[in-house]
């Protein structure tokens, strides 16, 4: 069994105690976020790398927490996956046989692709009416960052949900965003008729899920209604992972398209990712489209170098290049790459947004 093998693997690496401690904080996720009943629980992870064992520790934590609550968890461990690689056969088979209306937790660098699922874990989980959590891209983080990740999970969810609802309402009723930041960002985004989404940790409805840690409100721009520049000075996602940005990267946007990318190593990796997508995409027209604007609202999240956490940090905003069709946009692309910048100031139809909602 994968659970026995993974728990033994953690014990051999003197990390089983870390998983048990994590399970104590994770237990509330099944109660507060899922309102779990009698669902089966499927947890997918990988074995991590030396000194970078966040994913298997979290997965074991979910497994132990579910077991302590009397649930029926199945833990699936596979080799390390990156964008474009294939899921291991036993993971694919178990998910295919998972039935309907269960809980699925992805705590791995990546699930990998499957012939029948395609590239979208979210689409699979929604179609099967599974409640789900996705916490991917953690392979770049050192094991020592685990306390920071658990802190970002162990938050006041009702308060987060209240603030996200207020921000969503403001975005939903707006026509245009004007976003500026001290680093040089000056971006205009048309949002008329678009509906914002909130990742607020409330995953109680079958077919609904999101990232954990939670804590962002985001929206798809109106077609090509994006103009200006955004200067990325916190972290940047590419097809291999997330990197902390030391030399700011500037994205110039015209007609919704990123027409120029300048900066240091972050810019180089992003250009390489776009080239890879162009060579492997069925929809090359969407690769350079700016597909998302979002605000981080998790008070305990920090910029660590993993996008699933970085984009949730307060006093940050992020944009994404590529696909947005699953949250109200019109862009289909092989990539969705987020980029985070600090200290945003947002105006909605000329009115300054209350910073206390996202700082």
CA-CA distance, 19 to 41, in Å (whole number)? 17
Q: In which band, very low, low, confident or very high, does the pLDDT at 136 lie, cut at 50, 70 and 90?
A: confident
DSSP letter assigned to residue 210: E
- Condensed to tens digits (0 to 9), the pLDDT of residues 99-114 reads 899 999 999 888 877 7
Is the Cβ–Cβ distance between 318 and 276 less than 8 Å? Answer: no
Q: Which pTM does this prediction carry?
A: 0.90
**CB-based contact 239:275 (threshold 8 Å):** no
Total domains present in the chain: 2
pLDDT band for 18, please (50, 70, 90 cuts): very high
Do 203 and 136 fall within a single domain? no
Statement: residue 49 has pLDDT above 90: no
Query: How open is the CA angle 322-324-330, to the nearest 5 degrees?
Result: 100
Is the same domain home to 81 and 107?
A: yes
Asked if 62 and 25 touch (Cβ cutoff 8 Å), the reply is no
**pLDDT tens profile 155-178:** 999 999 999 999 999 999 999 999
- Rounded to whole angstroms, the Cα distance separating 110 from 158 reads 29
Contact in structure between 63 and 73 (CB atoms under 8 Å)? yes
Asked, as a colleague might, if the bond just before 213 is cis with ω within 30 of 0, I would say yes
Dihedral pair phi/psi, residue 318, rounded to 5°: -145, 155
Instruction: Indicate whether 68 and 194 sit together in one domain.
Output: no
Q: In percent, how much of the chain has pLDDT > 70?
A: 98
Query: 234 with 251, same domain?
Result: yes
**C-alpha span between 122 and 336 (Å, rounded):** 13
Separation of alpha carbons 48 and 77, rounded Å: 10
pLDDT value of position 87: 83
SS3 assignment, position 82: coil
Q: In what order do the strands lie in the sheet with 176-180?
A: 257-262, 249-254, 226-232, 186-190, 176-180, 345-348, 351-352
Q: Is residue 210 located within the same domain as residue 350?
A: yes
Does one domain contain both 86 and 169?
A: no
- Residue (of 46, 200, 65) closest to 138 by Cα position: 46
137 and 254 fall within a common domain? no
Please report, for the domain that includes residue 15, its CATH number: 3.40.50
Instruction: Say which DSSP state 329 is in.
Output: -
51 CB-near residues (< 8 Å, 6+ apart): 142, 143
Q: Domain range holding 122?
A: 2-150
User: Could you tell me if 161 and 224 lie in one domain?
Assistant: yes
Query: Is residue 98 domain-shared with residue 212, that is, in the same domain?
Result: no
pLDDT for the residue 81: 79
Together in a domain, 238 and 220:
yes
Q: What is the pLDDT of residues 286-316, one digit of tens each?
A: 999 999 999 999 999 999 999 999 999 999 9
């Amino acid at each position: 069994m994968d659970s026995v093998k993974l728990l033994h693997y953690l014990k051999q690496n003197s990390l089983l105690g870390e998983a048990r401690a994590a399970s104590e904080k994770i237990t509330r996720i099944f109660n507060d976020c899922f309102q779990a009943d009698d669902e089966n629980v499927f947890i997918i992870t990988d074995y991590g790398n030396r000194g970078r064992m966040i994913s298997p520790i979290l997965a074991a934590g979910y497994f132990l927490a579910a077991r302590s609550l009397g649930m029926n968890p199945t833990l699936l461990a596979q080799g390390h996956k990156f964008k474009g690689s294939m899921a291991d056969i036993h993971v694919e088979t178990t998910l295919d046989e998972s039935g309907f209306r269960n809980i699925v937790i992805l705590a791995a660098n990546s699930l990998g692709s499957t012939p029948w699922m395609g590239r979208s874990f979210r689409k699979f989980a929604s179609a099967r009416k599974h409640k789900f959590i996705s916490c991917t891209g953690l392979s770049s983080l050192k094991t020592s960052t685990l306390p920071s990740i658990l802190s970002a999970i162990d938050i006041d969810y009702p308060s987060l949900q209240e603030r996200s609802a207020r921000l969503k309402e403001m975005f939903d009723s707006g026509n245009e965003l004007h976003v500026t930041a001290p680093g040089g960002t000056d971006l205009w985004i048309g949002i008329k008729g678009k509906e914002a989404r909130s990742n607020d940790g409330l995953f109680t409805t079958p077919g609904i899920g999101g990232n954990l840690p939670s804590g962002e409100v985001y929206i798809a721009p109106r077609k090509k209604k994006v103009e200006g520049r955004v200067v990325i000075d916190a972290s940047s996602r590419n097809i291999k992972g997330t990197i902390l940005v030391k030399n700011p990267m500037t994205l110039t946007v015209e007609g919704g398209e990123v027409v120029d990318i300048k900066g240091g190593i972050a810019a180089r990796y992003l250009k390489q990712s776009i080239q890879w997508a162009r060579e492997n995409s069925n929809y090359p027209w969407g690769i350079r489209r700016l597909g998302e604007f979002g605000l981080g609202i998790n008070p305990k999240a920090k910029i660590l170098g993993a996008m699933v956490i970085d984009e949730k940090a307060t006093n940050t905003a992020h944009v994404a290049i590529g696909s947005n069709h699953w949250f109200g946009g019109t862009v289909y692309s092989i990539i969705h790459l987020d980029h985070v910048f600090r200290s945003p100031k947002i105006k909605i139809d000329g009115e300054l947004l209350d910073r206390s909602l996202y700082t």
